[in-house]
Amino acid sequence: MKILVCDKTEASAIERMRQAGLTVDVRDDITPEELSVVIKDYDGMVVRSRTKVRAPLIDLAPNLKVIVRGGVGLDTIDADYARSKGITVMNTPLSSSASVAELAIGFMFALARSIYAATSSMKAGKWEKKKFEGDEIAGKTLGIVGIGNIGKEVAKRARALGMEVIAYDPYASMPEGVKSVSLDELLSSSDYITFHLPLTEETRNMIGVEAFARMKPGVRIINCARGGIVDEDALYDALVSGRVAGAALDVFAQEPCEGHRLFTLEQVIGSPHIGAATHEAQKRIGAEVADKLIEYYQRMR
């Protein structure tokens, strides 16, 4: 069985797949154009978020039987279309939950104490003690939109920090200590709102002008889920008006996004989609990709 690894994947995982009898080609910087030429030769592909697997590519892949997405979001793959062609689509749902949750919690502290702005001020040779009076996290209300694997990890950590945790998720059961609320109640009563739900037709631009108008003045927003869930223009206006006191973003409607106008605002901090980019998560993702492909191969032999 011939597998094409299209994105960066742990060397130990590739080694294990080869030892199990799979033929593995690694082209982790392959372009979409190159991929569309070679994909016809492969039975399986391993992708991360960089490589998009859309219907036209699937149509060029008559031998493709399995796609493994290292990571969570399947929004980069036309999964239903692939399945309609008999292709198995798998991901590694739990491998990066702790890493993303830690980034969201880190962002919350960074926003509460203006850590980035204070550091920039120090690096500019200043001592602006009065400017950087912050807030405690303890006792504040955290609203979690989407309480799946990552949302639950965030909730656990936030409760340990003494926060009140509420969540909106029409499809999930609430973990202990988390109050289920409507989206309206979450928007109007949270001091911090963090998003941990997929980007779907239902969730695209779910947080726009009207949602910001219902939020508590001074709320802080964290998005480590997907760009496009929070309308970036509406967020910009809400930051400029002061309704939103700060925002921390790991994901953007268009990625990569050098020179994004949100980053002209001092109260915005962020990172280039690094939620799952920890050594621990990468190792777990690689191991889970290898486990799933080897198991699939052994089952199909």
Residues contributing to the site for ligand NAD (CB under 6 A):
71-73, 93, 96-97, 100, 145-151, 168-172, 196-198, 202-203, 224-226, 250-251, 273, 275-276
Name the active-site residue from 255, 266, 280, 295. 255
Closer CB to ligand NAD, 72 or 238, in the complex: 72
Closer CB to ligand NAD, 51 or 97, in the complex: 97
Shortest distance in whole angstroms from residue 82 CB to ligand NAD? 18
Is 96 within 8 Å of 275 (Cβ atoms)? yes
Q: Which string of b and e fits 237-256 if b means at least 16 CB within 10 Å?
A: ebbeeebbbbbbbbbbbeee
Phi, psi at residue 144, to the nearest 5°? -110, 120
Active-site residue flag, 15:
no
Asked if the peptide bond before residue 256 counts as cis, ω within 30 degrees of 0, the response is yes
Shortest distance in whole angstroms from residue 103 CB to ligand NAD? 7
Shortest distance in whole angstroms from residue 139 CB to ligand NAD? 25
Closer CB to ligand NAD, 64 or 199, in the complex: 199
Shortest distance in whole angstroms from residue 220 CB to ligand NAD? 17
Rounded CA separation 269/220 (Å)? 11
Residue nearest to ligand NAD (CB): 148
Closer CB to ligand NAD, 24 or 49, in the complex: 49
Nearest alpha-carbon partner for 162 in 216, 246, 105, 98? 105
Active-site residue flag, 226:
yes
Name the active-site residue from 157, 196, 220, 226. 226
Shortest distance in whole angstroms from residue 169 CB to ligand NAD? 4
Shortest distance in whole angstroms from residue 60 CB to ligand NAD? 26
Name the active-site residue from 16, 260, 273, 284. 273
Closer CB to ligand NAD, 9 or 149, in the complex: 149
Active-site residue flag, 266:
no
Closer CB to ligand NAD, 143 or 146, in the complex: 146
Q: Which residues are catalytic, by number?
A: 226, 255, 273
